[in-house]
A = this chain, B = another copy of it.
Amino acid sequence: MPISKWQQTFPRTEFLRRLAEVKSEMARRDLDALVVSDDDNITYLTGYTVVSGYVPQGVVVSLHDEEPTFILRKMDAPAAFHQAFMQRDKIIAYPEDLIGNPDKDGYDTVVDFLRELGVANRGIGVELGSLPPRAAEKFKARLPEARIVDCTKAVTWIRSVKSDLEIGIMREAAAISDAAILRAAEVIRPGVREADAAAEIIGTLARGANGKAGTKTQPICLCSSPRTGTCHIPWSEDVFTSGSQINLELGGTRHGYVAALMRTFSIGAPSDQVRRLHDAELAGLETALETVRPGITCGDAATAIYRAIEKHGFKKESRCGYSIGIGWLEPTASLREGDMTELKPNMTFHLMMGNWIEEDVGCAVSETIRVTTSGVEVLTNAPRKIFEL
């Protein structure tokens, strides 16, 4: 039997709105078709969230078609029928014998589709930066009459400004992040193995919050003493002890959308140095919440944040945040000095004050925020403090 459509996260009108923005950009660049291969951009344009992008797949947006066409491996086509907003005839399955095949792969099927579409001698956008070089060359070699235009990050930039519907989903993701931080505060105790605490924290990322399940579990970073000067290590096989400090970074996920959150935990009182570092981070965070608003640039915000931190006697070298949404980090705007991206309403950022000042000294506090029409809405809501346990 044909597989049914699942309960769609977004209405069809939302996808048509997104596609209209993409098509407008395509028209501006004189492109008849756009090939989207970035996993997160595919989620944005179709609603498909399955992890299958480790083999070739692509969504083709045509100026001449209302709905995009999704070309993917036959084994994954039923999942696309189930999840994507489009009608069944917009999903093309390529045969399984193209998997692990050194001579021909799914990108050949994408090229074949472009030729059938009649755009082989027109402008075709390709996300070259999301493709291995050999695949990028295949598009050029097999479409010699086309004007291939690199559209890496074109869709990524469009999705950096969210709709209110997307913000609603990100609020649900943020509530999951809050719940996981609170769970961490319950389970981090002397004598507990880090892995057992991690199991509970990640379990919360799956169970979700307020009756809304997490739809995926993102990797967590649980950097405990003596690793508190590192920022991306997962849990170790150690046991927490009295005096342990733990810097935790995690992200709740709803239908592809992530809200990230960082907090520091201390079994017993933190050192003076860590407390002062955390105070500096809080000052940076407060400054961000006062500064961020539409019209200023990311660089303006970053400058204000860095100065606030420096007033507390610390220097932060890493950026103060980055655009966040589908799949966690969006590789577009950064809260770093010199980033000229203008802030707009409904951009969302992981406002990240984590600071690792020595190889064994660091702590972290962050929030996932939305730029409003006049300032900031903080989507995450866990107590903004060092959790002393």
CB distance from A262 to the nearest CB of B (A): 13
**A165 at the B interface (CB under 8 A):** no
Cα-based distance from A41 to B2 in the complex (angstroms): 41
Q: Which residues of A come within 8 Å of B, CB atoms?
A: 1-4, 6, 50-52, 54, 74-76, 78-79, 81-83, 95-97, 99-101, 128-134, 136, 152, 193-196, 198-200, 202-204, 206-208, 212-217, 219, 226-227, 229-237, 317-319, 322, 329, 331, 334, 336, 338-339, 356, 358-360
Residue on B nearest A80 in the bound complex, by CB: B230
Q: Which residues of B contact A81 (CB under 8 A)?
A: 359
Contacts known (A3-B359, A213-B193); A96 close to B319, Cβ less than 8 A: yes
Q: Which of A79, A152, A196, A216 is the most central at the interface, judged by chain B CB atoms within 10 Å of its CB?
A: A79
CB distance from A30 to the nearest CB of B (A): 22
Residue on B nearest A88 in the bound complex, by CB: B359
Q: Which residues of B contact A198 (CB under 8 A)?
A: 206
CB distance from A128 to the nearest CB of B (A): 5
The 8 Å CB contact of A229, one of B3, B196, B202, B339, is B3
Is B219 a contact of A216 with CB atoms below 8 Å? yes
CB distance from A366 to the nearest CB of B (A): 14
Q: Which residues of B contact A54 (CB under 8 A)?
A: 329
Residue on B nearest A355 in the bound complex, by CB: B75
Is A233 a contact of B195 with CB atoms below 8 Å? no
